[in-house]
Chains A and B, each alone.
Chain A
């Protein structure tokens, strides 16, 4: 069953009309296995992958690369991914790193769509003053925003 209704798809397609640059979604997930390994199950990996595939299907500027977290651990390490499901959003215009951990559903789904647009356009929706301050910060900064699906 599709996550996005026909109406959702049309609305997102309209939103994606403004995309300019290509966006890569590097997704870390778990290969589906008939074996159940206690403590290693990823309950939302499959749904996250399906949702991302639906999003990618709505624009030829968005590209999905799915990696197995265990089998391709070198790529995961490269992006400092230590848990799944995880998503790294990259584009020519993205200078830092934007990552999502967990399934982006509810309000976070619209946040993800907004980030996709910003990444493609290579500019944030922030004020000029904020951008100036951000560009002057010369220390590594790790911002973690903890959310729940609402």
Chain B
């Protein structure tokens, strides 16, 4: 997704190596995705749903 939009930063984080992040983001299952600290979900989801989450995170009401 970051390939397509200059405003997207996409990180893959190996959580065992950064336990403070596991705690900070309450990681109980993987993969866990967090977008802009406001939208989050656990598990692999279809592309269309992922896009919906991105749209939600980028809507003006979500900061």
- Among B4, B13, B21, B54, chain A packs the most CB atoms within 10 A around the CB of B4
For chain A, the bracket of interface size reads: 35 or more
CB closest residue in chain B, given A95? B6
A142 close to chain B: CB less than 8 A: yes
Q: Is the interface of B mostly helix, strand, loop or mixed?
A: mixed
Contact between chains at B8 and A148 (CB < 8 Å): no
Bound-state CA distance A130–B15 (Å) is 28
CB-based contact A134/B10 at 8 Å: no
Do A99 and B10 have beta carbons less than 8 Å apart? yes
Measured between beta carbons, the chain B residues less than 8 angstroms from A71 are: none
For chain B, residues 1 to 32, give those with C-beta under 8 angstroms from any C-beta of chain A.
1-18, 21-22, 25, 27, 30-32
Say yes or no: B33 contacts A143, CB within 8 Å: yes
Q: Which residues of A contact B48 (CB under 8 A)?
A: 130
Q: List the A side residues contacting B2 at CB < 8 Å.
A: 94-98, 143
A83 closest partner in B (C-beta)? B18
List the B side residues contacting A140 at CB < 8 Å.
7, 9, 36
In the complex, are the beta carbons of A146 and B27 less than 8 A apart?
Answer: yes
Place the interface of chain B in its size category.
Answer: 35 or more
Q: Is the CB of A96 within 8 A of B4?
A: yes
Nearest CB to that of B60 among chain A residues? A139
B21 and A146: CB pair below 8 A?
A: yes
Contact check, B8 vs A102: say whether CB atoms are below 8 A apart: no
Residues in chain B near residue A44, CB distance under 8 A: 17
When the two chains form their complex, are residues B51 and A146 in contact, meaning their CB atoms are under 8 A apart? no
- The complex places the Cα of A72 from the Cα of B37 at a distance, in Å, of 28
Contact, CB under 8 Å: B21 / A139 = no
B13 contacts A143, C-beta separation under 8 Å: no
B12: chain A residues within 8 A (beta carbon): 99-101, 104, 108, 111-112, 145, 147
Given A124-B1, A135-B4, does the pair A141, B14 have CB atoms closer than 8 Å?
A: no
Closest to A89 in B: B2
A108-B12, A141-B8 given; name 7 further pairs at CB < 8 Å. Answer: A124-B4, A134-B8, A141-B35, A141-B54, A142-B36, A145-B11, A146-B33
